[in-house]
A and B are shown apart, each in its own frame.
Chain A
């Protein structure tokens, strides 16, 4: 997967190759590797992330990139897709009990949904059970602070670093 990442950087591989490689990697991990290794022994499994593009926004390239990079790093990623309502995020947190909720938005008009998701988690009594990370072209650190997110990442690479720190409980915006 590291080689896939290098090739993507060099413009030899594109998003489809990244997605398909990650799917194969993930399938092999889930089916063959993880069952025989405990989380502690493998040193690979970093935690579980529920991720999605917020309601009203159908852009998924950035979100897909983050999901791929997280999987490569050893996170289990539950990808809710695009146009995800606050209710669906809450439902997924109840169902999967993730360590982290990740939200993406490409538009200034849809990034406001991130606040609604955080409030919905709070209303459902789930806010303290997960860390929340936000990202996307119009999203800033200031905006993340304003809406009460735990973290912000500028790109997919930074998202991986930040998620590692969130799981260790170090990060706070």
Chain B
């Protein structure tokens, strides 16, 4: 199956009004599957602890993908996939990928819950709007961190005084400038071959296609292919997928069910996440998958409901066996203690349940209020959990303890201060005040048995 074949199939598919698709094909079916497979969320614990849950979530997600299919927005029609096609897409998906080039090549392979394999670390502001003048130094601050394996940085919103518009020349220029800044940052960090997940300025497909056409996004790199909420795709994403496959660019599928939306609660969102993962393999031929549940009110992936979804998908990965990446998107930002507690809690869950790590992305991705030091903090927490071979369900108490320090304020978080107020913009290194705060929270984590070698 190729994206071109998906387009052809969509044109012949059943016409369904979008509202009917959302309410009946997705939401109602998800509710039925929750009951059929006895998948429930227990708010008493922010992680899934039932060992049988992984199989149930996998099977319910597979059934949803096969029953519902992928809604193609422009056609208002559904592209359906048979059980055999979904099984084939899953079987043929890569379990191990070489990311980047030369000395900077890294291996991204499937992890499982309780795995002692260190999680792969994607650092960067991942799509957050960053002013062009600060794009290079903030990218540099992540690239110089030794534990960062790959870069997924922000987006550029204004080029030469023109606000970037989807599908317009401004988007193409933003994509090219983003990649030029990233390449410069990688060269200056002495890691020119590091894997890039870009162009994050690509809202439609234009910036991504411009970056590929300019030779700036190349074999060994990846671009983002979101599955639209819920179980939907559009021609921009299918175009990116098609062109990417023809040019050796890896498709990084973004699976971001909205918890409280059409995916229903955490239980339904876990089912939807598995279904969307399978559809991304079938329609986009994705290489790896980012798991990013978003709460309809609290937004952050550090909300207990979202961490539960990540943990449930991690358990389901026993049956998928894919390289899954947990997005770490806190609500707070640079200069706040809560930001660090959120990173710690979310990272402990992701790492213990077999996900790789991406972020941390502060302020719910709305402001460039973070830098490379926090990526190191996230990496060291993730590595510590993996190296200890922590049993996934055993993290429940620790995560609950950390939640006490930020959960109540998730609905009105302090976004913190911008990168350039806490970091040296020439070197990309953090200032003393922020460093001290990170040391202080690291010492607290050590008391809970999570030791961070360079920070604690």
With a cutoff of 8 Å between Cβ atoms, the chain B residues found around residue A112 in the complex are 163, 165
Encode contact with A along B65-99: 1 for CB under 8 Å, 0 otherwise.
00000000100000000000000000000000000
- B366 engages A14 (CB within 8 Å): no
Quote the shortest CB–CB distance from B170 to chain A (angstroms): 8
Q: How far is B39's CA from A36's CA once the two chains are assembled, in angstroms?
A: 46
Quote the shortest CB–CB distance from A55 to chain B (angstroms): 9
Q: How far is B27's CA from A107's CA once the two chains are assembled, in angstroms?
A: 25
With a cutoff of 8 Å between Cβ atoms, the chain B residues found around residue A2 in the complex are none
Among the listed B23, B27, B166, B296, which residue makes an inter-chain contact with A109, where contact means beta carbons less than 8 Å apart? B166
Q: How far is B164's CA from A19's CA once the two chains are assembled, in angstroms?
A: 33
B228 within 8 A of A: yes
Residue of B nearest to A156 (CB): B297
Q: How far is B265's CA from A9's CA once the two chains are assembled, in angstroms?
A: 12
Among the listed A16, A56, A138, which residue makes an inter-chain contact with B166, where contact means beta carbons less than 8 Å apart? A56
Residue of B nearest to A55 (CB): B166
- B203 engages A16 (CB within 8 Å): no
With a cutoff of 8 Å between Cβ atoms, the chain B residues found around residue A138 in the complex are 129, 366
Among the listed A20, A61, A107, A137, which residue makes an inter-chain contact with B296, where contact means beta carbons less than 8 Å apart? A61
The segment out of B112-120, B243-251, B255-263 that lies at the interface is: B255-263
Among the listed A8, A16, A56, which residue makes an inter-chain contact with B167, where contact means beta carbons less than 8 Å apart? A56
A110 within 8 A of B: yes
Quote the shortest CB–CB distance from A111 to chain B (angstroms): 9
Interface size on A, residues (CB 8 A): 20
Interface size on B, residues (CB 8 A): 30
With a cutoff of 8 Å between Cβ atoms, the chain B residues found around residue A30 in the complex are none
Within 8 A of B (CB), among A1-52: 8-9, 11, 14-16, 19-20
A58 within 8 A of B: yes
- A58 engages B166 (CB within 8 Å): no
A108 within 8 A of B: yes
With a cutoff of 8 Å between Cβ atoms, the chain B residues found around residue A59 in the complex are 229
Quote the shortest CB–CB distance from B76 to chain A (angstroms): 12
- B166 engages A15 (CB within 8 Å): no
Question: Contacts A14-B27, A58-B228 hold; do A107 and B166 have CB atoms under 8 A apart?
Answer: yes
Q: How far is B166's CA from A56's CA once the two chains are assembled, in angstroms?
A: 7
Among the listed A56, A58, A61, A108, which residue makes an inter-chain contact with B261, where contact means beta carbons less than 8 Å apart? A61
Q: How far is B23's CA from A58's CA once the two chains are assembled, in angstroms?
A: 16
Encode contact with A along B234-276: 1 for CB under 8 Å, 0 otherwise.
1000000000000000000000001011101100100000000
With a cutoff of 8 Å between Cβ atoms, the chain B residues found around residue A110 in the complex are 165-166, 203
With a cutoff of 8 Å between Cβ atoms, the chain B residues found around residue A58 in the complex are 73, 228, 234
Among the listed B73, B164, B165, B261, which residue makes an inter-chain contact with A15, where contact means beta carbons less than 8 Å apart? B261
Q: How far is B367's CA from A108's CA once the two chains are assembled, in angstroms?
A: 12
- B260 engages A14 (CB within 8 Å): yes
Q: How far is B22's CA from A9's CA once the two chains are assembled, in angstroms?
A: 21
- A107 engages B228 (CB within 8 Å): no
- B265 engages A109 (CB within 8 Å): no
- B163 engages A11 (CB within 8 Å): no
Q: How far is B164's CA from A107's CA once the two chains are assembled, in angstroms?
A: 11
Residue of A nearest to B268 (CB): A14
Interfacial residues, chain B to chain A (CB-CB below 8 A):
22-23, 27-28, 43, 73, 129, 155, 157, 163-167, 171, 203, 228-229, 234, 258, 260-262, 264-265, 268, 296-297, 305, 366
Closest 8 CB pairs of A and B: A16-B27, A109-B166, A109-B203, A15-B261, A14-B264, A56-B166, A108-B157, A14-B260
Q: List 16 A-B contacts (CB under 8 A).
A: A9-B297, A11-B260, A14-B27, A14-B260, A14-B261, A14-B265, A14-B268, A14-B296, A15-B261, A15-B296, A16-B28, A20-B23, A56-B166, A58-B73, A108-B129, A109-B171
Additional pairs, 11, CB under 8 Å, beyond known A14-B27, A19-B23, A110-B166: A11-B43, A14-B261, A14-B265, A15-B27, A15-B261, A16-B22, A16-B264, A58-B73, A58-B228, A109-B165, A109-B166
